[in-house]
Amino acid sequence: MTEQHSGRAIETSGPPESEAGGMLSIDLSALVANWRELGSRAAPAECAAVVKADGYGCGIAPVSAALAKAGCKTFFVADLAEARSVRRIVPAAALYVLNGLAPGAAEAFAEANVRPVIGSLPELAEWEAFRAGTGWRGGAALHVDTGMNRLGLAPEQAAEVAGRNAPANIVLLMSHFACAEEPSHPLNARQMAEFREVRALFPGIPASLANSSGIFLGPDAHHDLVRPGVGLYGANPTPGHLNLMRAVVRLEARLVQVREVPAGETVPTACRARQARPIPSRAPRRSSRAGAARSQAASPWTCWPSMSPTCPRIFRAGAISRRCSTRKSGSTSLPRTPERLRTRS
């Protein structure tokens, strides 16, 4: 359902606000602003967008549509199902599947006009055999592991591939930082040096290394294309420093009851804790572990804190605003599916 607020269209789903136990608000204009901010820092490199995991929970369709309208031409997703979703929204986009080429899936990639991110020699062999047997001319990315130890060919394997005259089906060479959020970590410099050496083996092929945090490591990390993910959605790509990203999502739960807990009384759950002084106790509708409530006692809504005190996720509550503070109050459980969802473009 579409609602009009202050001249702006807001898509809503779920029960009415008066009936909802939780509300998730998504500000697509903030998402676009973050993409533009990160892109300006990486220029002249192209700024792609990682929209995996259903657009980090914000909805892969509205997220992709908003970013495409803003000028984004390249998207990274987790799997083929997500790639098909983006393809329906952005027919001309370059689409990469980070999970790579599953055995027997090459034909499905071709039908969707999607590029697999090749991370092993068997994947590459199957992709080359499919192209040779069908005449398909679609490309793929080659992922080289420069120190993250997660996915990708070893540098010596990449050298072996390059020795075969750099296959024409490789249209992007990429790697991934392991700890770019720690600028002084020595592994960053080692990875950049390793990637430069590997890139020299594939002349003329565009290259990509930087994630959200990697963009802030400077031009040596940018190459031809940067791939911000979580930073687009409001998480701080430079922990310990001012978060330059605008908040995109906000999560609220309705308070059922507010009561005073006298000193010496137990508090939930399991009666393991006793209060040294009287405090107000607020019970959210969705969870008894929801954490810090908003200071306005009259408000019926409470804000879930960040999922991690060291990795702010910027889950925010109620009507959209542009700023929020991340409380260092530990982790907490989040409802997997909010009862009401609002998306603002």
* pLDDT tens digits for range 97-123: 999 999 999 999 999 999 999 999 999
State mean pLDDT over 173-182: 97
Q: Cα dist. 47→96, 100, 173, 270 in Å?
A: 14, 21, 15, 49
Question: What's the token pair of residue 289?
Answer: 């572990």
Of 215, 243, 219, the C-alpha closest to 228 is 215
DSSP 46-62: EE-EE-HHHHHTT-HHH
pLDDT at 225: 98
pLDDT at 285: 52
- Asked if the model's pLDDT at residue 156 lies above 90, the reply is yes
pTM of structure: 0.77
**Considering only 31-40, 84-93, 299-308, which range has the smallest mean pLDDT?**
299-308
Question: Where residue 4 falls among pLDDT bands split at 50, 70, 90?
Answer: very low
Q: Cα dist. 32→27, 62, 161, 257, 313 in Å?
A: 9, 11, 38, 38, 17
Higher-confidence position of 94 and 320: 94
Class of domain 28-233: alpha beta
**C-beta of residue 71 within 8 angstroms of C-beta of residue 90:** no
pLDDT at 276: 58
The DSSP element (H or E) to which 23 belongs, if any, is strand 22-27
d(CA 314, CA 320): 12
What is residue 239's DSSP assignment?
A: T
pLDDT at 253: 80
Q: What angle, 0 to 180 degrees and rounded to 10, lies between the N-to-C axes of helices 60-70 and 28-42? A: 50
Of 80, 60, 81, 63, the C-alpha closest to 72 is 63
Percent of residues, the chain, with pLDDT higher than 90: 63
Question: What's the token pair of residue 345?
Answer: 């473009």
Percent of residues, the chain, with pLDDT higher than 70: 73
Question: Where residue 23 falls among pLDDT bands split at 50, 70, 90?
Answer: confident
Give the number of other CB atoms < 10 A from CB of residue 85: 18
The domain segmentation of the chain, as residue ranges, is 1-27+236-345, 28-233
Question: What's the token pair of residue 300?
Answer: 């019926």
Contacts of 285 (CB under 8 A, 6+ apart): 21, 22, 253, 254, 255, 256
**Of the spans 131-135, 270-274, 283-287, which averages the highest pLDDT?**
131-135
pLDDT at 336: 36
Q: How far apart are the first and last CA of the chain?
A: 14
pLDDT at 72: 98
d(CA 226, CA 36): 12
| Mean pLDDT value across the chain | 80
pLDDT at 14: 75
pLDDT at 270: 57
d(CA 286, CA 296): 19
